[in-house]
Amino acid sequence: MDKFYVTTPIYYVNDKPHIGHAYTTVLADVLARFHRSLGIPTFFLTGTDEHGQKVEKAAKLRNEDPQKHCDDTVERFKDLWKRLGITNDYFIRTTNADHKKVVQEVLQELYDRGEIYKGDFKGHYCVGCERFLTEKDLVDGKCPECNREVTEIVESNYFFRMSKYQQWLIDYIESHPKFIMPEFRANETLGFLKKELKDLCISRHKSRLSWGIELPFDSDYVCYVWFDALINYISGVGYKKDEEMFKKWWPASKHLIGKDILTTHSVYWPTMLKAMNVEMPETIFAHGWWLTGREKMSKSLGNVINPMDMVDKCGVDAFRYYLLAAMAPGQDASFTEESFVKRYNNDLANDLGNFASRVLKMTLRHSSGLINKPAEFNADDLEVINAVKAGKAAMEKAIAEMKLDQGIDSVMEIVRAGNRYMEKTAPWTLAKKGETARLETILYTAATAVYHVSVLLSPIMPEKMAELQKVLGTAVSDRIDLLDADAQILVGCTMQDSDPLFPRLQEEAAPAPAPAPKAEKKVEKKAPAENVVDLISIDDFFKTQLKTAKILEAEKIEGADKLLKLKIEVGSEIRPLVAGIALYYKPEELIGKTIVIVANLKPAKIRGVESCGMLLAAKNGNTLKLITTDGEMASGVSIG
Ligand code: MSP
């Protein structure tokens, strides 16, 4: 890879930054830091989307000029990114003169070439989403995204000839498997493209909206906010301004987006680029949603997680770690403070914190912190060294495949192997017995494992990992490309005493059991052993996201008697799912059934076939019945 260019969506400047914004930006930051740490030239772009009706309205409410309103509100994003240690190379605002000029040049060029034309627009408009909708888009006469009422309109407008690129786009997606990721999002886009693709209305009459970029060929209109916003990805790296810069960074390696803005990125943006004769980005990666428990976060429900509050409570690095470790990119994830505290205590305070502290304490006691040269390694040492090498390779693979949660888990496996090693080799007893050479080999090996973990996790927890390297007495480094498990770079370093890096957090105290009634003393009946179940909290249950799904297709998998490959619809998503029900159902019996699935199961390959989710069925001896709904129910509906 000769360069890496990563983008986040540009956020609506009006919004109060929440965990969803924080997640995409931290994910982009971690990818940027990783690539830099591999020595790859990297450019990281984020910014704000500042035009449109919502901003105009909000400014009016404040009795403020829209630009001044943007200048004020943009600070909330800038402050948060500073707090979260975000290392973007440029912050683009769509009200920047440079960006506006590029948008106007693109519009003029497309207009001159006949890619934009004037016509009549009949349709509906959703103010909340700033989207024009056709009759077909509406669900029960309302906006399909936010379910709000829409306004009907007819007016002259300018259109981009998007429809003419429909077949080209289908072919492009089909022949570029990495273009839209995860794969099921590519299928979702292809599903969308089965319907006739209409031309895109790219203008708004100034009588309705004036806060936008004026069309260079008709001053009565401003540009549609999405057309303006998407162009940030090229104007931010010098398009039509600094050709050398543009050539250096474009095409983007990864556009990171949330799943709700898939169509704008997977249909509008590629067709716009095609019309402009600009190369396609390598990958558009759509991540899932952060939910509160199982609910979508929304202002009206009052369940929006404010990233600043979390950072205040637990520190920046722990928050960054949680965001990446707890979400499988692509799938939805549930945020609760309880699950946050649990993961922090398990992974950071117990596993990593304990490992580092054991190595530190033993080395301080034995040699005042000096890390000595190891003697010959035995099988126990080699097991840890191999875990270190495997962890590094797994992390690099995870980055390339956008499976960061799995990469983090592989690095934590080094930590777990390290803790097992300390217990097995018991260096404290070797110290007592005076077996110095063996003891020093173990302390060296363990310190080397800590060092590798610190470098591998530094893109995720830059501050804490730098602190850890100071504890190891070595120079601060995040250079994964320079890691070499055999290089013995710690020999001669002196470890420095420190407070725990990750002090344990208090878990919510369990409610006190109700006092037993005094008068009648009941003899507790013991439940028979087979009835004893581990009780789980409601939060544990909420980790499992159950949803309705409709079976669209079913077929046998060759060579696997028990398995069927299904194509299911989960709301707007189409997913593959492999189920072990072939002995109980014929494929044709299944089509059209509304079933229940675990929707947030990590995707897996079963007999080489991708499976996203698991269906629920009840099995009693030789009878198996699918769990279905009692009557008609849409797909993608949450259950619980
Ligand atoms: N301005 C447009 C993007 C234009 S890009 C050319 C926009 N802005 S946004 O501020 O509304 O949303 C930005 C991103 O935040 C989207 O990718 C969206 O998916 C993400 N999130 C909003 N809520 C979210 C969660 N609860 N969880 C994860 N991400 C979600 O759309």
- Ligand 1 pocket test target in 7, 14, 19, 49 with most atoms within 8 Å of CB: 49
Beta carbons of 143 and 150 less than 8 angstroms apart: yes
Tell me the pLDDT band of 539, cut-offs 50, 70 and 90. low
Q: Who contacts 235 (Cβ-Cβ below 8 Å, separation ≥6)? A: 92, 98, 99, 102, 103, 241
Q: Give the residue among 142, 169, 205, 51 at the shortest CA–CA distance from 133.
A: 142
* CATH match for 336-482 among 1.50.10.10, 3.80.30.20, 1.10.730.10, 1.20.1250.20: 1.10.730.10
In this predicted model, which residue has the larger pLDDT, 337 or 36? 36
Domain(s) labelled CATH 2.40.50.140 in the chain stretch across 538-626
Query: How many whole angstroms separate alpha carbon 52 and alpha carbon 36?
Result: 35
Question: Amino acid letter at 625?
Answer: K
Residue bearing the CA closest to ligand 1, atom 19 = 258
Residue 133, pLDDT > 90, answer no
Query: How many whole angstroms separate alpha carbon 431 and alpha carbon 422?
Result: 13
Tell me the pLDDT band of 267, cut-offs 50, 70 and 90. very high
Query: How many whole angstroms separate alpha carbon 338 and alpha carbon 508?
Result: 7
pLDDT score recorded for residue 300: 66
Element (H, E) at 25: helix 19-37
Query: How many whole angstroms separate alpha carbon 56 and alpha carbon 142?
Result: 23
Reduce the secondary structure of 543-604 to three states and give it as a string.
Answer: CCCEEEEEEEEEEEECCEEEEEEEEEEECCEEEEEEECCCCCCCHHHHCCCEEEEECCCCCE
pLDDT in tens, 378-413: 999 999 999 999 999 999 999 999 999 999 999 999
pLDDT score recorded for residue 525: 35
- Ligand 1 neighbours, Cβ below 6 Å, are 9-12, 15, 20-21, 23-24, 49, 229-230, 232, 257-258, 260-261, 289-290, 297
Beta carbons of 417 and 383 less than 8 angstroms apart: yes
Q: Is 45 helix (H, G, I), strand (E, B) or coil?
A: strand
Cα separation values, 520 from 516, 517, 524, Å: 9, 7, 12
404-425 vs 354-367: helix crossing angle, rounded to 10: 40
Residue bearing the CA closest to ligand 1, atom 6 = 230
Give me 235's structure tokens. 């104007």
Residue 531, pLDDT > 50, answer no
Give me 237's structure tokens. 């790296």
Query: How many whole angstroms separate alpha carbon 286 and alpha carbon 188?
Result: 11
Mean pLDDT within 431-454:
96
DSSP per position, 70-129: HHHHHHHHHHHHHHTT---SEEEETTSHHHHHHHHHHHHHHHHTTSEEEEEEEEEEETTT
Question: Amino acid letter at 139?
Answer: V
Query: How many whole angstroms separate alpha carbon 320 and alpha carbon 26?
Result: 7
pLDDT score recorded for residue 153: 81
pLDDT score recorded for residue 347: 97
In ligand 1, the atom with minimum distance to the C-alpha of 15 is 10
In percent, how much of the chain has pLDDT > 90?
72
Distance 23 CA to ligand 1 centre (A): 10
Mean pLDDT within 506-522:
45
Domain(s) labelled CATH 1.10.730.10 in the chain stretch across 336-482
pLDDT in tens, 191-216: 999 999 999 999 999 988 899 999 99
Tell me the pLDDT band of 534, cut-offs 50, 70 and 90. low
pLDDT score recorded for residue 519: 38
Tell me the pLDDT band of 627, cut-offs 50, 70 and 90. very high
Residue 291, pLDDT > 80, answer yes
pLDDT score recorded for residue 136: 77
pLDDT score recorded for residue 522: 38
Residue 446, pLDDT > 90, answer yes
Tell me the pLDDT band of 517, cut-offs 50, 70 and 90. very low
Beta carbons of 289 and 20 less than 8 angstroms apart: yes
In this predicted model, which residue has the larger pLDDT, 539 or 436? 436
Per mean pLDDT, which of 128-137, 266-275, 483-492, 578-587 is the most reliable?
266-275
CATH number for the domain formed by residue range(s) 1-94+288-333: 3.40.50.620
Domain(s) labelled CATH 3.40.50.620 in the chain stretch across 1-94+288-333
Looking at domain 538-626, which CATH architecture does it have?
Beta Barrel (2.40)
Residue 518, pLDDT > 50, answer no
Cα separation values, 7 from 88, 235, 264, 353, Å: 9, 12, 15, 33
pLDDT in tens, 68-123: 999 999 999 999 999 999 999 999 999 999 999 999 999 999 999 999 999 988 88
Q: Is 23 helix (H, G, I), strand (E, B) or coil?
A: helix
The mean pLDDT value of the chain amounts to: 90
Mean pLDDT within 266-286:
98
Question: Would you say how long the chain is, in residues?
Answer: 640
In ligand 1, the atom with minimum distance to the C-alpha of 259 is 19
Mean pLDDT within 232-239:
98
pLDDT score recorded for residue 536: 73
Distance 9 CA to ligand 1 centre (A): 7
pLDDT in tens, 244-258: 999 999 999 999 999
pLDDT score recorded for residue 515: 40
Query: How many whole angstroms separate alpha carbon 291 and alpha carbon 19?
Result: 10
In this predicted model, which residue has the larger pLDDT, 293 or 474? 474
pLDDT score recorded for residue 197: 96
Residue bearing the CA closest to ligand 1, atom 22 = 20
Residue 568, pLDDT > 70, answer yes
Tell me the pLDDT band of 530, cut-offs 50, 70 and 90. very low
